[in-house]
Amino acid sequence: MGDHLTDYGPAPGDTTTTNTAPLSIDKPGGDRADRLDRRCAPARGAGEKGWRAPHPNRHHMRMLIREATAEDWPAIWPFFHEIVTAGETFTYPTDLGRDTGRDWWLLPPPNRTVVAVDDAGKVLGTAKMNNNQSGNGSHVASASYMVDPACSGQGVGRALCAYTLEWARAAGFRAMQFNAVVETNAHAVKLYGSLGFEVLGTVPEGFLHPTKGYVGLHVMYRAL
């Protein structure tokens, strides 16, 4: 599981009230679009603490998180390809092809893949969620996220992560586990920590970063 999250929350020490209301989502298998209508704008800063209540003069960020379909793949593929080719955050082959990437990312029920879109329908990011293991380990969920680098700093990654947690709870999972969070992916590590995940352990030199060499892979977990 890898992540490409570059969204920022309020700056450290910011005491502005954040919007922490749970997302309203369908039960697994539902086909109603899931409305995330948080009139919030993310602050630019080093922290990953949440959504800031909007200032009257701030741009109001609106997103719809809905189930992804094959028709969304042409919009997902350009940033999916950019992120995978960069080789900094995912353990996917850097030469992963378009069709194979689609088959790996767009999951059939009972698992789920979603996209976050703006009011104009532009795809801002995507997430897939699934059981982490099969059989007697199938009660623990997992998820992966990709945010279009051109849409960073808008809270897309946080919204997608919160969505997957709500989905996992609704589906009856007992926990969520990320198997391979690259330790140099600081934004993802901070975000997951702010949403209740902890690092259970790190595989030393488990990932070959294209510029930083061999770095660790975190296993991160939180109970639901």
pLDDT digits (tens, 9 = 90+) for 69-88: 999 999 999 999 999 999 99
pLDDT value at position 1?
53
Rounded CA gap, 166 and 25, in Å?
7
Considering the four listed CATH numbers 3.40.630.30, 3.30.565.10, 3.40.190.10, 1.10.760.10, the one that applies to the domain covering 3-173 is 3.40.630.30
Share of the chain residues as helix, strand and coil, in percent rounded to the nearest 5: 25, 30, 45
C-alpha closest to that of 5 among 42, 38, 60? 42
pLDDT digits (tens, 9 = 90+) for 171-218: 999 999 999 999 999 999 999 999 999 999 999 999 999 999 999 999
Rounded CA gap, 70 and 126, in Å?
13
Average pLDDT for 3-32? 35
Average pLDDT for 102-112? 96
